[in-house]
Structure 1
Amino acid sequence: MQKVIRRTILAEKQAIRRNASRSEKRKRDALKNTLEQQGFHRGQEIKDIKAARVARREDWELGPLAPKRDAGANKLTYGTIHTMRTKGPVLSERQQKERSKYVGEKYKTVVVGDRVVITEGRDTGKIGQVVEMDHERGECKVDGLNMMDVRIPDYMLASEQEQDKRPIRSMEQPVPYSWIRLVIQLRNSETGLLEDVICEKVETTKPYYEKRPNGTKAVCSRFITMPDSSRIYIDYPGRSEKARKERKAEEEEKYKDTPSDTLRMEVEQKSFVPTLLRPPMPSSVIDELRNKYSIFRTRHDAEYIEKKLKEDEEKNEKKKLVAKMRTPIKEINRLEKKMKKAKGKGKLTEEMLERIGKVIAEKRNLQLDLAAKIAGEPAVVTA
């Protein structure tokens, strides 16, 4: 019987070790996958930043001769990003906990359907509605804000399930939880009108249980504390997709473009395309196209040359004036030098020479006494 008991205990220990090993392997695989995603995401971001820097440098150096980048092979994909950058990398548990402070750790203070304001990025100060929240990545999508152009891979376009065949699509880029603040509408006591108010700190009550058709569920409510210590409770919004689409259609109808509008893409479009079939424009024409005071100009107007010569003369006059200026310290030094010069060089009298000779003899006697003591001989005195 003892043998059976030992075998059972051994089997249990082996099962525990196997489960621990599998658990560790799952954690390592998850961490490896997360690091790969973060590395790829960061690599794509660095690649786009470097390409943008090179393009900006070329545009600045070439000026009107800068190449048209949204042409040729890049006609459809210029200015877009990779699909892997539509979402941020998965965060660690510590990072998730840090970001969840802004939307509530256990009971959320910001949920899908809430109106929020963006506090950082290019859409700072704009208000939109939260349409999606990703707690693993600590970010959310705000309807119509922080838009980006994404290039869709060919294999996704070739799929039969994909109905949309556009190679480029505009979508909301998620923003971190730390970039958003809840916005509610409160009635102004003076004007009686509803105004948007940004909630810096939203709190939640203790959960209570509520009976629902699918069973009992723990719920809680959220509130903000006013300066007079009173509470204003905030209702959670409905998460109806139909209501969201209706609001989006209303906004599109409100801001619909008309034939009389000038589109931004038409204004920023580059009309000059350089070619190798003919030589570039003459330097005189390029000078005329450049800014009047450009550092690259080789031919300047007479008035510009005269202006520069006048500036040089003014600088030289200022330098001369600074050299002539005397500070109090300079004036004192000048007076001291003048007094020393007026006194002239001093002359040594017989008495002074005699005193100097005595001092030299005393020092010499001291040195001889010291040398005699070291050698053990009688001291020698000189007159």
Structure 2
Amino acid sequence: MQKILRRVATAERVAAKRKKVKETKYFKKEKKEQVSDHQGQVQLAQREFERAKQAVRDGWALGPLAPRQDVGEWAGAHGAIHEARFRSYGRLTLAMRNKRCAWAGGAYNLNLRVNDRVVLLEGPDKGKIGKIASISEETAEVTVAGLNKSNLRIAPEMRLPDDPAAANIELPLPISAIRLVHPLKDPQTGVTRDVIINQLAHSGMVVDRVTGKREWERVVPGLNVSIPWPPEEPEELKDYECDTLRIDAEERTFVPTLLRPPMPPTVIDELRNKYSRFRTRHETEYIARLEAEEREKEERRRRTEESMRTPLQEFHRQERANKKKKGKPRLTLEMLEKIGEVIARNRERSLNAAGVSEVSSSSPSPSSSPPAAGAAEPSAATAESSSAAAATDVPPPPPPQEETSQLPPPPST
């Protein structure tokens, strides 16, 4: 079983490493494509500017003899922009999107919706008010209905012969180039008029645990004014002949029961590869068989090791077994008697060598110690007090006794 677990762990590490290498290659490839796309758009815009300036110079210098610009691929699309410049290049990072959406609460919790009224701060329609037609979260751009229009050339291979060569459509604008417009009542004059809101924040965030949908209110920081969300238009559902009827969809065709499983057990093998290297759940019989094989392999290895021992190793092994079988040694009564005899014999030999029968220690009495040299003679008052004390019936102090320390007697044999 350990072998299978090691194999699964190795397979997971190899798969993770392969995935990381693949993601790194994809990231580098995507980054390279973004840089190439950006450079291509810049070069295309430069060529269009040069062509437009050359057309102006030719028209000024040559007049009616100036070459025509609306021929070939640009026939009927003179003055339009190239179709490659319609979309934004590459993919914006989260930091770039947050920078564009800073005034609207950030890119993650954007406080803008479709049908919001906004005013344009950039472009040819600067200062005009319109409704948001679409929002692109990947590029942090919006399209305002009827504003920021431009002629876009349609490639010949993308249109029919009768279709026009150019189309007048709304170009996307970054969210930083617009501001929300909402009618507010002036507290001083009481007049309700449109106000440009330069900052929005979210409040009262609620997350549905089942669907993961987030809901919140957008407010104007500082004023604590709640801006209502625009009404959502109901989605129009159209019926077709191939649609399933409601009566058929609501018909109950399966009744679960406890007598049989809802699906055959073999479905698990169809949903999950039975022979996958990443499989970690196995049947009990399979695990028992693997464990038995491992035990047999371990026993075979142990027998092989035992058969390869030398005679010296066998002898040492037998000695260790005998020693372990005997256990720890204990002192018997005979051993204790012998030890006591040896201690007594050694003590007697030591005393005889020292010339003493017993070991004793004596200390002189403090009263019998001679007076120190240079000590003063006792005064008369002291002599009188001592003679008076002698005249009374006070018994003299007992003589000092010698302190004798003896060794403990030897153990009896």
TM-score by length of 2: 0.50
Q: Cα deviation per residue 1:342-370 (whole Å; 9 max; x = unaligned)?
A: xxxxxxxxxxxxxxxxxxxxxxxxxxxxx
**For residues 6 and 217 of structure 1, do their structure 2 counterparts lie closer, same or farther at Cα, with a shift above 3 Å needed?**
closer
Query: Counterpart of 1:222?
Result: 218
- Tell me what 2:183 maps to: 185
Q: Residue 83 and residue 125 in structure 1: after superposition, are their counterparts in 2 closer, same or farther (change >3 A)? A: same
| Alignment correspondent of 2:167 | 169
Unaligned residue ranges in structure 1 (runs of 5+): 244-383
Provide the residue aligned with 1:110 in structure 2: 112
The answer on whether the counterparts of 1:131 and 1:140 sit within 8 Å (CA) in structure 2 is yes
**RMSD over equivalenced CA pairs, Å:** 3.1
Alignment match, 2:195: 197
* Residue 69 (structure 1) shift: 4.3
The change in CA–CA distance for 1:59 and 1:189 in structure 2 (over 3 A counts) is farther
Q: Hey, what does 2:346 align to over in structure 1?
A: none
* 1:6 to partner: Cα distance: 3.9
Is the contact made by 1:83 and 1:152 (CA closer than 8 Å) also made in structure 2? Answer: yes
Asked if 2 retains the 8 angstrom alpha-carbon contact of 1:104 and 1:110, the reply is no
Q: Structure 1 residues 204 and 58, CA, compared in 2 at 3 Å: closer, same or farther?
A: same
Partner of 2:19: 19
Cα distance change, pair 69–195 in 1 and its aligned pair in 2 (3 A): farther
Structure showing greater Rg: 2
Deviation, 1:83, is 1.7
Instruction: Answer yes or no: is the 8 Å Cα contact 2:75–2:165 preserved in 1.
Output: no
**CA shift digits 1:63-109 (9 cap, x unpaired):** x5473746554440101112222221133313223223243322112
How many residues matched? 233
Aligned to 2:122, the other structure's residue is in SS state coil
Rate the CA distance shift 1:3–1:53 in 2: closer, same or farther, 3 A.
same
What amino acid maps onto 1:187 in structure 2?
A: K
Does the 8 A contact of 1:115 with 1:183 survive in 2? yes
The 1:239/1:83 distance shift into structure 2, 3 A limit, reads: farther
Counterparts of residues 172-321 of structure 1 (less than 5 Å): 172-188=170-186, 193-209=191-207, 217-225=213-221, 229-240=222-233
What is the TM-score with the length of structure 1 in the denominator? 0.54
Matches within 5 A, 1:326-365: none
Report sequence identity in percent.
Answer: 27
Out of 70-79 and 36-45, give the one that drifted further.
Answer: 70-79
Task: Give how far 1:112 is off.
Answer: 1.7
CA distance in 2, matches of 1:97, 1:33: 23
Structure 2: distance between partners of 1:23 and 1:7:
24
One-letter amino acid of the structure 1 residue matched with residue 220 of structure 2: I
Q: Is the 8 A contact 1:91 1:138 kept in 2?
A: no
What is the alpha-carbon distance in structure 2 between the residues aligned to residue 220 and residue 233 of structure 1?
A: 11
In structure 1, what is the Cα distance between the partners aligned to 2:15 and 2:149?
51
2-structure distance, mates of 1:242, 1:11: 48
Report the Cα distance in structure 2 between the residues aligned to 1:66 and 1:184, rounded to whole angstroms: 54
Structure 2 portions without partners, runs of 5+: 237-413
SS of 1:81's equivalent in the other structure is coil
Task: Give the aligned residue type for 2:46.
Answer: I
Change (3 A) 1:242 1:197: farther
Shift of residue 127 of structure 1?
A: 1.2
Bigger mean CA deviation after superposition, 47-56 or 181-190: 181-190
For 2:145, the aligned partner's letter is D
Q: Give the match for residue 99 of structure 1.
A: 100
Q: Distance in 1 between matches of 2:196 and 2:152?
A: 31
CA–CA separation in structure 2 for the residues paired with 1:241 and 1:156:
33
